[in-house]
Chain A
Amino acid sequence: MAKTVKLTPPLSDQDVLQLEIGDTVIVSGVIYTARDAAHKRLVDMLARGEALPMDIMGQIIYYVGPSPARPGRVIGAAGPTTSYRMDSYAPTLIRLGLKAMIGKGKRSPEVIEALKTHKAVYLGATGGAGALISQRIKTAEVIAFPELGPEAVHRLEVEDFPTIVINDCQGRDLYELGVRQHRRAAAR
Protein backbone atom coordinates (compact mmCIF):
# COMPACT_ATOMS: atom_id res chain seq x y z
CA MET A 1 0.00 0.00 0.00
CA ALA A 2 1.48 3.29 -1.08
CA LYS A 3 2.26 5.74 1.71
CA THR A 4 2.93 9.46 1.95
CA VAL A 5 6.26 10.62 3.37
CA LYS A 6 7.39 14.18 4.06
CA LEU A 7 11.10 14.80 3.50
CA THR A 8 13.47 17.73 3.84
CA PRO A 9 17.06 17.47 2.53
CA PRO A 10 19.74 16.63 3.41
CA LEU A 11 18.43 13.07 3.21
CA SER A 12 19.93 10.07 5.00
CA ASP A 13 20.12 6.44 3.82
CA GLN A 14 17.19 5.71 6.15
CA ASP A 15 15.10 8.46 4.56
CA VAL A 16 15.33 6.86 1.13
CA LEU A 17 15.43 3.17 2.16
CA GLN A 18 11.86 3.43 3.51
CA LEU A 19 10.56 4.59 0.12
CA GLU A 20 8.87 2.22 -2.31
CA ILE A 21 7.61 2.77 -5.83
CA GLY A 22 4.22 4.49 -5.86
CA ASP A 23 4.81 6.27 -2.54
CA THR A 24 4.09 9.99 -2.48
CA VAL A 25 7.01 12.10 -1.28
CA ILE A 26 6.24 15.66 -0.22
CA VAL A 27 9.46 17.65 -0.43
CA SER A 28 10.10 20.82 1.54
CA GLY A 29 13.30 22.81 2.03
CA VAL A 30 16.25 23.48 -0.28
CA ILE A 31 16.69 21.65 -3.59
CA TYR A 32 18.96 22.42 -6.56
CA THR A 33 18.09 22.62 -10.25
CA ALA A 34 20.25 21.28 -13.07
CA ARG A 35 19.53 20.05 -16.57
CA ASP A 36 21.58 19.13 -19.64
CA ALA A 37 24.20 21.88 -19.88
CA ALA A 38 24.61 22.25 -16.09
CA HIS A 39 25.17 18.51 -15.68
CA LYS A 40 27.92 18.59 -18.26
CA ARG A 41 29.57 21.48 -16.41
CA LEU A 42 29.26 19.76 -13.02
CA VAL A 43 30.78 16.51 -14.24
CA ASP A 44 33.54 18.41 -16.09
CA MET A 45 34.36 20.27 -12.84
CA LEU A 46 34.68 16.95 -11.00
CA ALA A 47 36.93 15.58 -13.73
CA ARG A 48 39.22 18.59 -13.23
CA GLY A 49 39.25 17.97 -9.48
CA GLU A 50 37.28 21.16 -8.69
CA ALA A 51 34.67 21.53 -5.96
CA LEU A 52 31.01 21.61 -7.01
CA PRO A 53 29.04 24.84 -6.48
CA MET A 54 26.95 23.02 -3.84
CA ASP A 55 27.58 20.27 -1.30
CA ILE A 56 25.91 17.35 -3.04
CA MET A 57 25.78 15.06 0.01
CA GLY A 58 22.19 14.10 0.85
CA GLN A 59 20.77 16.58 -1.66
CA ILE A 60 17.99 16.52 -4.27
CA ILE A 61 18.50 17.71 -7.84
CA TYR A 62 15.40 18.84 -9.74
CA TYR A 63 15.63 18.53 -13.54
CA VAL A 64 14.06 21.82 -14.57
CA GLY A 65 14.73 24.88 -16.68
CA PRO A 66 12.20 27.41 -15.37
CA SER A 67 10.66 30.16 -17.46
CA PRO A 68 11.60 33.71 -16.37
CA ALA A 69 9.86 35.25 -13.35
CA ARG A 70 7.54 38.17 -14.00
CA PRO A 71 8.46 41.27 -11.98
CA GLY A 72 7.48 40.67 -8.35
CA ARG A 73 7.30 36.90 -8.75
CA VAL A 74 9.70 34.23 -7.46
CA ILE A 75 9.87 32.13 -10.62
CA GLY A 76 7.95 31.34 -13.80
CA ALA A 77 6.62 27.94 -14.82
CA ALA A 78 8.80 25.19 -13.35
CA GLY A 79 7.78 21.64 -14.26
CA PRO A 80 10.20 18.74 -14.74
CA THR A 81 12.13 18.04 -17.94
CA THR A 82 12.74 14.54 -19.37
CA SER A 83 15.31 12.77 -17.24
CA TYR A 84 17.01 10.32 -19.63
CA ARG A 85 19.16 13.10 -21.01
CA MET A 86 20.90 13.30 -17.62
CA ASP A 87 21.45 9.51 -17.42
CA SER A 88 25.08 9.62 -18.51
CA TYR A 89 25.91 12.12 -15.73
CA ALA A 90 23.66 10.96 -12.88
CA PRO A 91 25.64 7.93 -11.60
CA THR A 92 28.70 10.15 -10.95
CA LEU A 93 26.61 12.46 -8.73
CA ILE A 94 24.83 9.55 -7.01
CA ARG A 95 28.22 8.05 -6.10
CA LEU A 96 29.11 11.37 -4.44
CA GLY A 97 26.04 11.26 -2.19
CA LEU A 98 23.17 12.70 -4.25
CA LYS A 99 20.09 11.09 -2.66
CA ALA A 100 17.25 11.96 -5.03
CA MET A 101 16.47 13.33 -8.46
CA ILE A 102 13.13 14.81 -9.49
CA GLY A 103 12.16 14.60 -13.15
CA LYS A 104 9.89 12.77 -15.56
CA GLY A 105 10.34 9.77 -17.83
CA LYS A 106 12.39 6.58 -17.86
CA ARG A 107 15.92 6.13 -16.47
CA SER A 108 18.69 3.90 -17.82
CA PRO A 109 19.70 0.56 -16.27
CA GLU A 110 22.94 2.25 -15.16
CA VAL A 111 21.05 4.88 -13.17
CA ILE A 112 18.72 2.28 -11.63
CA GLU A 113 21.78 0.22 -10.63
CA ALA A 114 23.43 3.28 -9.07
CA LEU A 115 20.27 3.91 -7.02
CA LYS A 116 20.51 0.37 -5.63
CA THR A 117 24.24 0.46 -4.95
CA HIS A 118 24.39 3.89 -3.33
CA LYS A 119 20.88 4.10 -1.82
CA ALA A 120 19.11 6.87 -3.70
CA VAL A 121 15.73 7.34 -5.39
CA TYR A 122 14.24 8.81 -8.53
CA LEU A 123 11.08 10.85 -8.01
CA GLY A 124 8.55 11.87 -10.65
CA ALA A 125 6.78 15.23 -10.81
CA THR A 126 3.94 15.97 -13.21
CA GLY A 127 5.38 16.94 -16.59
CA GLY A 128 3.66 19.93 -18.12
CA ALA A 129 2.21 21.16 -14.83
CA GLY A 130 4.68 24.04 -14.79
CA ALA A 131 2.26 26.69 -13.53
CA LEU A 132 0.91 24.42 -10.77
CA ILE A 133 4.36 23.39 -9.50
CA SER A 134 5.67 26.98 -9.53
CA GLN A 135 3.32 27.73 -6.66
CA ARG A 136 5.30 25.36 -4.41
CA ILE A 137 8.51 27.34 -4.94
CA LYS A 138 9.05 30.00 -2.31
CA THR A 139 12.50 31.36 -3.23
CA ALA A 140 14.80 30.96 -6.23
CA GLU A 141 18.41 32.06 -6.63
CA VAL A 142 20.96 31.32 -9.36
CA ILE A 143 24.08 29.88 -7.68
CA ALA A 144 26.13 28.77 -10.71
CA PHE A 145 26.48 29.17 -14.48
CA PRO A 146 24.23 32.26 -14.91
CA GLU A 147 25.35 32.40 -18.56
CA LEU A 148 23.34 29.24 -19.21
CA GLY A 149 20.07 31.18 -18.78
CA PRO A 150 17.26 28.70 -18.07
CA GLU A 151 19.89 25.98 -17.66
CA ALA A 152 21.70 27.76 -14.78
CA VAL A 153 21.86 25.99 -11.41
CA HIS A 154 19.24 27.46 -9.09
CA ARG A 155 18.87 27.00 -5.36
CA LEU A 156 15.14 26.66 -4.71
CA GLU A 157 13.27 26.66 -1.45
CA VAL A 158 10.14 24.56 -1.90
CA GLU A 159 7.18 23.89 0.33
CA ASP A 160 5.11 20.71 0.02
CA PHE A 161 6.29 19.86 -3.51
CA PRO A 162 4.42 16.63 -4.42
CA THR A 163 6.38 13.85 -6.12
CA ILE A 164 5.97 10.09 -6.59
CA VAL A 165 8.63 7.39 -6.25
CA ILE A 166 9.36 6.03 -9.74
CA ASN A 167 12.56 4.06 -8.97
CA ASP A 168 13.37 2.96 -5.42
CA CYS A 169 16.55 1.57 -3.81
CA GLN A 170 15.45 -1.98 -4.64
CA GLY A 171 15.65 -1.52 -8.38
CA ARG A 172 11.92 -1.41 -8.96
CA ASP A 173 10.22 0.74 -11.61
CA LEU A 174 6.76 2.26 -11.20
CA TYR A 175 6.38 2.85 -14.96
CA GLU A 176 6.85 -0.86 -15.71
CA LEU A 177 4.41 -1.86 -12.99
CA GLY A 178 1.77 0.69 -14.09
CA VAL A 179 1.90 -0.36 -17.73
CA ARG A 180 1.76 -4.08 -16.81
CA GLN A 181 -1.41 -3.46 -14.85
CA HIS A 182 -3.16 -1.49 -17.59
CA ARG A 183 -1.93 -3.05 -20.83
CA ARG A 184 -4.73 -4.80 -22.72
CA ALA A 185 -4.28 -8.25 -24.20
CA ALA A 186 -4.99 -6.79 -27.65
CA ALA A 187 -1.78 -4.74 -27.44
CA ARG A 188 1.05 -6.41 -29.31
Chain B
Amino acid sequence: MREIEVAQVTQAVKAAAIAANYEPGADLLAALARGLEEEESPSGKEIFRQLLENARITKEERIPMCQDCGVAIIFAEVGQDVHLVGGDFNEAIQAGVRQGYGEGHLRKSLCHPLTRANTGDNTPAVIHTEIVPGDRLKLTVVPKGGGSENMSRLYMLKPAEGLAGVRERVVTTVEEAGPNPCPPIIVGVGIGGTFERAALLAKKALLRELGQANPDPELADLERQLLGEVNDLGIGPQGLGGRVTAMAVHVLMQPCHIASLPVAVNIQCHASRHKEVVL
Protein backbone atom coordinates (compact mmCIF):
# COMPACT_ATOMS: atom_id res chain seq x y z
CA MET B 1 0.00 0.00 0.00
CA ARG B 2 1.19 3.48 -0.83
CA GLU B 3 0.21 6.06 1.75
CA ILE B 4 -1.03 9.50 0.74
CA GLU B 5 -1.74 12.14 3.36
CA VAL B 6 -5.14 13.75 2.87
CA ALA B 7 -3.44 17.13 3.52
CA GLN B 8 -1.80 16.64 0.11
CA VAL B 9 -5.26 16.17 -1.38
CA THR B 10 -6.39 19.50 0.10
CA GLN B 11 -3.34 21.28 -1.31
CA ALA B 12 -3.79 19.70 -4.74
CA VAL B 13 -7.49 20.57 -4.98
CA LYS B 14 -6.86 24.12 -3.82
CA ALA B 15 -4.10 24.70 -6.39
CA ALA B 16 -6.10 23.07 -9.19
CA ALA B 17 -9.25 25.12 -8.43
CA ILE B 18 -7.24 28.33 -8.70
CA ALA B 19 -5.30 27.23 -11.79
CA ALA B 20 -8.46 26.11 -13.60
CA ASN B 21 -9.98 29.58 -13.23
CA TYR B 22 -6.87 31.61 -14.08
CA GLU B 23 -5.05 29.48 -16.66
CA PRO B 24 -7.05 28.68 -19.80
CA GLY B 25 -5.91 25.33 -21.25
CA ALA B 26 -3.79 25.20 -24.40
CA ASP B 27 -6.48 23.05 -26.08
CA LEU B 28 -9.13 25.71 -25.39
CA LEU B 29 -6.94 28.50 -26.74
CA ALA B 30 -6.27 26.46 -29.89
CA ALA B 31 -10.01 25.79 -30.30
CA LEU B 32 -10.81 29.50 -29.97
CA ALA B 33 -8.14 30.34 -32.55
CA ARG B 34 -9.61 27.70 -34.91
CA GLY B 35 -13.06 29.16 -34.31
CA LEU B 36 -11.85 32.62 -35.30
CA GLU B 37 -10.58 31.13 -38.58
CA GLU B 38 -13.73 29.12 -39.31
CA GLU B 39 -16.33 31.67 -38.32
CA GLU B 40 -17.80 33.62 -41.23
CA SER B 41 -20.01 36.23 -39.56
CA PRO B 42 -18.27 39.50 -38.59
CA SER B 43 -20.00 39.63 -35.20
CA GLY B 44 -19.00 36.00 -34.57
CA LYS B 45 -15.37 36.73 -35.44
CA GLU B 46 -15.46 39.71 -33.09
CA ILE B 47 -16.68 37.45 -30.25
CA PHE B 48 -13.78 35.02 -30.85
CA ARG B 49 -11.35 37.94 -30.76
CA GLN B 50 -12.86 39.11 -27.46
CA LEU B 51 -12.60 35.62 -25.96
CA LEU B 52 -8.93 35.31 -26.95
CA GLU B 53 -8.30 38.76 -25.47
CA ASN B 54 -10.20 37.73 -22.34
CA ALA B 55 -7.92 34.69 -22.00
CA ARG B 56 -4.84 36.90 -22.28
CA ILE B 57 -6.10 39.31 -19.61
CA THR B 58 -7.01 36.40 -17.33
CA LYS B 59 -3.42 35.17 -17.27
CA GLU B 60 -1.63 38.49 -17.32
CA GLU B 61 -3.85 40.47 -14.94
CA ARG B 62 -4.89 37.52 -12.74
CA ILE B 63 -8.65 38.01 -13.16
CA PRO B 64 -10.77 34.83 -13.37
CA MET B 65 -11.75 34.13 -16.99
CA CYS B 66 -15.42 34.18 -15.99
CA GLN B 67 -17.10 35.67 -12.93
CA ASP B 68 -19.02 32.39 -12.61
CA CYS B 69 -16.21 30.36 -11.07
CA GLY B 70 -18.62 27.47 -10.98
CA VAL B 71 -19.67 24.57 -8.84
CA ALA B 72 -16.45 22.69 -8.10
CA ILE B 73 -16.82 19.18 -9.51
CA ILE B 74 -14.06 16.78 -8.55
CA PHE B 75 -13.41 13.52 -10.34
CA ALA B 76 -11.21 11.39 -8.08
CA GLU B 77 -9.63 8.21 -9.43
CA VAL B 78 -8.23 6.39 -6.43
CA GLY B 79 -5.74 3.60 -7.07
CA GLN B 80 -6.73 0.47 -5.18
CA ASP B 81 -3.21 0.27 -3.71
CA VAL B 82 -3.48 3.74 -2.18
CA HIS B 83 -4.08 4.14 1.55
CA LEU B 84 -5.40 7.61 2.36
CA VAL B 85 -4.20 8.66 5.83
CA GLY B 86 -4.44 11.61 8.19
CA GLY B 87 -8.14 12.36 7.95
CA ASP B 88 -11.38 12.21 6.00
CA PHE B 89 -10.79 12.10 2.22
CA ASN B 90 -14.05 13.82 1.25
CA GLU B 91 -13.55 16.52 3.87
CA ALA B 92 -10.01 17.06 2.56
CA ILE B 93 -11.43 17.77 -0.91
CA GLN B 94 -14.03 20.17 0.52
CA ALA B 95 -11.27 21.96 2.45
CA GLY B 96 -9.30 22.33 -0.78
CA VAL B 97 -12.28 23.90 -2.50
CA ARG B 98 -12.95 26.20 0.49
CA GLN B 99 -9.33 27.39 0.56
CA GLY B 100 -8.96 27.65 -3.22
CA TYR B 101 -12.12 29.72 -3.69
CA GLY B 102 -11.27 31.88 -0.65
CA GLU B 103 -7.59 32.57 -1.23
CA GLY B 104 -7.99 32.59 -5.01
CA HIS B 105 -10.61 35.38 -4.92
CA LEU B 106 -13.05 33.15 -6.79
CA ARG B 107 -16.80 33.70 -6.68
CA LYS B 108 -18.77 31.65 -4.18
CA SER B 109 -21.77 30.47 -6.14
CA LEU B 110 -23.40 27.79 -4.00
CA CYS B 111 -26.60 28.35 -2.08
CA HIS B 112 -29.46 26.58 -0.30
CA PRO B 113 -31.78 25.44 -3.12
CA LEU B 114 -34.92 26.90 -1.51
CA THR B 115 -33.90 29.79 0.76
CA ARG B 116 -31.12 30.72 -1.74
CA ALA B 117 -28.81 31.60 1.21
CA ASN B 118 -25.19 31.44 -0.03
CA THR B 119 -23.08 28.78 1.71
CA GLY B 120 -20.28 31.37 1.75
CA ASP B 121 -17.33 29.22 0.69
CA ASN B 122 -18.44 27.49 -2.53
CA THR B 123 -18.86 24.14 -0.78
CA PRO B 124 -20.13 21.53 -1.02
CA ALA B 125 -18.18 20.41 -4.06
CA VAL B 126 -19.68 17.59 -6.12
CA ILE B 127 -17.32 14.61 -5.82
CA HIS B 128 -17.26 11.55 -8.10
CA THR B 129 -14.92 8.87 -6.77
CA GLU B 130 -13.85 5.78 -8.69
CA ILE B 131 -11.55 2.97 -7.58
CA VAL B 132 -9.01 2.09 -10.29
CA PRO B 133 -5.97 -0.20 -10.48
CA GLY B 134 -2.61 1.17 -9.34
CA ASP B 135 -1.12 3.20 -6.50
CA ARG B 136 -1.82 6.70 -7.71
CA LEU B 137 -4.54 9.23 -7.03
CA LYS B 138 -5.78 11.35 -9.93
CA LEU B 139 -7.86 14.44 -9.15
CA THR B 140 -9.58 16.45 -11.88
CA VAL B 141 -11.08 19.73 -10.72
CA VAL B 142 -13.84 21.06 -12.99
CA PRO B 143 -15.40 24.46 -12.20
CA LYS B 144 -18.77 24.25 -13.99
CA GLY B 145 -20.79 27.37 -14.71
CA GLY B 146 -24.51 27.56 -13.95
CA GLY B 147 -25.65 29.12 -17.22
CA SER B 148 -24.59 26.21 -19.38
CA GLU B 149 -25.56 23.60 -16.79
CA ASN B 150 -29.12 25.02 -16.84
CA MET B 151 -29.38 24.33 -20.58
CA SER B 152 -28.43 20.65 -20.18
CA ARG B 153 -31.04 17.91 -20.63
CA LEU B 154 -31.69 14.23 -19.93
CA TYR B 155 -34.01 12.13 -22.09
CA MET B 156 -35.25 8.56 -21.54
CA LEU B 157 -35.96 7.48 -25.12
CA LYS B 158 -37.82 4.46 -26.40
CA PRO B 159 -35.33 2.00 -27.94
CA ALA B 160 -37.34 2.29 -31.20
CA GLU B 161 -36.20 5.91 -31.52
CA GLY B 162 -32.64 4.68 -32.04
CA LEU B 163 -29.79 6.77 -33.39
CA ALA B 164 -32.15 9.18 -35.14
CA GLY B 165 -33.81 9.89 -31.78
CA VAL B 166 -30.47 10.48 -30.11
CA ARG B 167 -29.38 12.92 -32.81
CA GLU B 168 -32.70 14.73 -32.72
CA ARG B 169 -32.44 15.27 -28.93
CA VAL B 170 -28.86 16.54 -29.09
CA VAL B 171 -29.71 19.07 -31.82
CA THR B 172 -32.96 20.13 -30.08
CA THR B 173 -31.13 20.71 -26.80
CA VAL B 174 -28.61 23.01 -28.49
CA GLU B 175 -31.33 24.76 -30.49
CA GLU B 176 -33.48 25.47 -27.43
CA ALA B 177 -30.45 26.68 -25.49
CA GLY B 178 -29.75 29.24 -28.23
CA PRO B 179 -27.67 32.15 -26.95
CA ASN B 180 -28.18 31.31 -23.25
CA PRO B 181 -25.24 28.98 -22.45
CA CYS B 182 -22.54 31.30 -23.90
CA PRO B 183 -21.82 29.74 -27.28
CA PRO B 184 -19.40 28.73 -28.79
CA ILE B 185 -20.14 25.71 -26.63
CA ILE B 186 -18.83 22.19 -26.18
CA VAL B 187 -21.52 19.51 -26.18
CA GLY B 188 -21.06 16.48 -23.93
CA VAL B 189 -23.31 13.54 -24.81
CA GLY B 190 -23.85 10.41 -22.71
CA ILE B 191 -25.67 7.54 -24.40
CA GLY B 192 -26.81 4.44 -22.50
CA GLY B 193 -26.27 3.37 -18.92
CA THR B 194 -29.06 4.43 -16.58
CA PHE B 195 -30.77 7.70 -15.66
CA GLU B 196 -27.85 8.91 -13.55
CA ARG B 197 -25.07 7.20 -15.51
CA ALA B 198 -26.02 8.87 -18.79
CA ALA B 199 -25.65 12.28 -17.13
CA LEU B 200 -22.29 11.34 -15.68
CA LEU B 201 -21.08 10.07 -19.07
CA ALA B 202 -22.13 13.36 -20.67
CA LYS B 203 -20.16 15.31 -18.09
CA LYS B 204 -17.11 13.04 -18.36
CA ALA B 205 -17.19 13.40 -22.14
CA LEU B 206 -16.45 17.11 -21.63
CA LEU B 207 -13.11 16.30 -20.01
CA ARG B 208 -11.50 15.02 -23.22
CA GLU B 209 -8.96 17.41 -24.66
CA LEU B 210 -10.41 19.62 -27.40
CA GLY B 211 -9.18 18.71 -30.86
CA GLN B 212 -8.53 15.10 -29.88
CA ALA B 213 -10.53 12.50 -31.81
CA ASN B 214 -12.70 9.97 -29.98
CA PRO B 215 -10.67 6.72 -29.78
CA ASP B 216 -13.79 4.78 -30.84
CA PRO B 217 -14.12 5.23 -34.65
CA GLU B 218 -17.92 4.74 -34.53
CA LEU B 219 -18.30 7.49 -31.92
CA ALA B 220 -15.75 9.71 -33.70
CA ASP B 221 -17.96 9.50 -36.77
CA LEU B 222 -21.10 10.28 -34.74
CA GLU B 223 -19.35 13.29 -33.19
CA ARG B 224 -18.49 14.67 -36.64
CA GLN B 225 -22.10 14.26 -37.79
CA LEU B 226 -23.52 15.87 -34.66
CA LEU B 227 -21.09 18.78 -34.84
CA GLY B 228 -22.19 19.42 -38.43
CA GLU B 229 -25.89 19.28 -37.53
CA VAL B 230 -25.47 21.52 -34.49
CA ASN B 231 -23.50 24.09 -36.45
CA ASP B 232 -26.08 24.09 -39.27
CA LEU B 233 -28.47 25.67 -36.73
CA GLY B 234 -26.70 28.99 -37.33
CA ILE B 235 -26.83 30.11 -33.68
CA GLY B 236 -23.16 31.16 -33.75
CA PRO B 237 -20.94 32.79 -31.13
CA GLN B 238 -23.10 34.37 -28.37
CA GLY B 239 -26.19 33.48 -30.43
CA LEU B 240 -25.71 36.45 -32.77
CA GLY B 241 -25.77 34.16 -35.82
CA GLY B 242 -22.81 32.35 -37.32
CA ARG B 243 -21.10 29.12 -38.29
CA VAL B 244 -19.51 28.07 -35.00
CA THR B 245 -22.20 27.31 -32.42
CA ALA B 246 -20.19 24.42 -30.99
CA MET B 247 -16.42 23.96 -31.04
CA ALA B 248 -16.81 20.22 -30.38
CA VAL B 249 -19.25 17.43 -29.62
CA HIS B 250 -17.89 14.67 -27.36
CA VAL B 251 -19.73 11.38 -26.90
CA LEU B 252 -19.40 8.55 -24.37
CA MET B 253 -21.55 5.45 -24.61
CA GLN B 254 -22.17 2.27 -22.62
CA PRO B 255 -24.73 -0.56 -22.70
CA CYS B 256 -28.16 0.04 -21.20
CA HIS B 257 -31.27 -1.97 -20.22
CA ILE B 258 -33.22 -3.65 -23.07
CA ALA B 259 -36.17 -1.37 -22.24
CA SER B 260 -34.20 1.89 -22.25
CA LEU B 261 -32.23 4.37 -24.31
CA PRO B 262 -31.04 7.13 -21.96
CA VAL B 263 -29.46 10.19 -23.58
CA ALA B 264 -27.93 13.06 -21.63
CA VAL B 265 -26.70 16.30 -23.14
CA ASN B 266 -24.41 18.35 -20.91
CA ILE B 267 -23.65 21.78 -22.31
CA GLN B 268 -20.30 23.39 -21.55
CA CYS B 269 -19.84 27.10 -22.17
CA HIS B 270 -16.69 28.28 -23.95
CA ALA B 271 -15.09 28.85 -20.52
CA SER B 272 -14.20 25.16 -20.40
CA ARG B 273 -12.10 24.76 -17.29
CA HIS B 274 -10.45 21.66 -15.85
CA LYS B 275 -7.17 20.90 -14.17
CA GLU B 276 -5.76 17.47 -13.49
CA VAL B 277 -3.33 16.51 -10.73
CA VAL B 278 -1.78 13.10 -10.09
CA LEU B 279 -0.49 12.27 -6.62
A interface residues (Cβ-Cβ under 8 A, vs B)? 36-37, 64-70, 73, 76-79, 81-82, 84, 104-106, 124, 126-132, 134-135, 148-151, 164, 174-175, 177-184, 186-188
Contacts and interface: CB of A to CB of B under 8 A. Distances in A.
Contacts of A180: 234, 241
Contact of B105 (A76, A183, A184): A76
A175 B64 contact: no
Contacts of A69: 105
A36 B116 contact: yes
A135 B57 CA distance: 9
- Interface size range of chain B in the complex: 35 or more
Contacts of A134: 63
Contacts of A82: 147, 150, 180-181
B182 A128 contact: yes
Nearest to B53: A132
A129 B241 contact: no
Contact of A126 (B116, B150, B238, B242): B238
Given A67-B64, A178-B236, A129 B54 contact: yes
25 contacts: A67-B63, A69-B105, A77-B69, A79-B67, A105-B147, A106-B178, A126-B51, A128-B182, A131-B61, A132-B53, A132-B54, A134-B63, A135-B61, A149-B118, A150-B109, A178-B240, A179-B234, A180-B234, A182-B235, A182-B242, A182-B243, A183-B234, A187-B171, A187-B229, A187-B234
A149 B120 CA distance: 8
A148 B66 CA distance: 19
Contacts of A177: 241
Contacts, number: 168
Contacts of A174: 240
A137 B215 CA distance: 45
A77 B61 CA distance: 11
A76 B63 contact: yes
A108 B275 CA distance: 37
A180 B242 CA distance: 10
B269 interface: yes
B234 A130 contact: no
Interface in B17-55: 40-41, 43, 47, 50-51, 53-55
A130 B63 contact: yes
B87 to A, nearest CB: 28
A27 to B, nearest CB: 16
A175 B178 contact: yes
B65 A128 contact: yes
A51 B108 CA distance: 29
Contacts of B270: 128
A44 to B, nearest CB: 13
Contact of B67 (A67, A179, A184): A67
B68 interface: yes
